[in-house]
Structure 1
Amino acid sequence: MEDVAEVSGFRVRFAEPQDCDRIAAMCAALWPDGTVEEHRQEVAAKLAGEAISTLPVVILVAERQDRGLCGFLEVGLRSHADGCDGRKPVGFLEGWFVEEDARRHGVGSALVAAAEAWAREQGCAEMASDTWLDDEMSQRAHEALGYVVVDRCIHYRKLL
Structure 2
Amino acid sequence: MTAYKVRQAHASDHKAIAEMCALLWPDTSLEEHQQEVDLLIKSGMSGTLPGAILTSHEDGGTLTGFLQVGLRSHADGCNPTQPVGFVEGWFVYEHLRGNGIGKALMHAAEAWARHHGCIEMASDTWIDHVVSQKAHRALGFEVVDRCIHFRKAL
Normalising by the residue count of structure 2, what TM-score does the alignment of the two structures yield?
A: 0.95
Q: Please say if 1:155 is aligned against 2:112.
A: no
Letter in 2 for 1:40: Q
Contact 2:44–2:52, Cα closer than 8 Å, also in 1:
no
Q: Please say if 1:24 is aligned against 2:27.
A: no
| SS of residue in 2 equivalent to 1:73 | strand
CA deviation after TM superposition for structure 1 residue 120, in Å: 0.4
C-alpha offsets along residues 44-84 of structure 1, whole Å, 9 cap, x if unaligned? Answer: 01111074511101000001113600100000000000000
**Counterpart Cα distance in 2 of 1:105 and 1:50:** 28
Structure 1 unaligned spans of 5+? 1-7
Letter in 1 for 2:17: I
Letter in 2 for 1:114: A
**Aligned residues: percent identity?**
57
Q: Please say if 1:15 is aligned against 2:9.
A: yes
Q: Please say if 1:80 is aligned against 2:74.
A: yes
Contact 1:42–1:51, Cα closer than 8 Å, also in 2:
no
**Counterpart Cα distance in 2 of 1:37 and 1:130:** 25
CA deviation after TM superposition for structure 1 residue 111, in Å: 0.1
Aligned to 2:49: 55
| SS of residue in 1 equivalent to 2:49 | coil
Aligned to 1:122: 116
Normalising by the residue count of structure 1, what TM-score does the alignment of the two structures yield?
A: 0.91
Structure 2 unaligned spans of 5+? none
Letter in 2 for 1:77: L
Deviating more after overlay: 48-57 vs 106-115: 48-57
**Counterpart Cα distance in 2 of 1:50 and 1:118:** 12
Number of residue pairs the alignment of both structures matches: 153
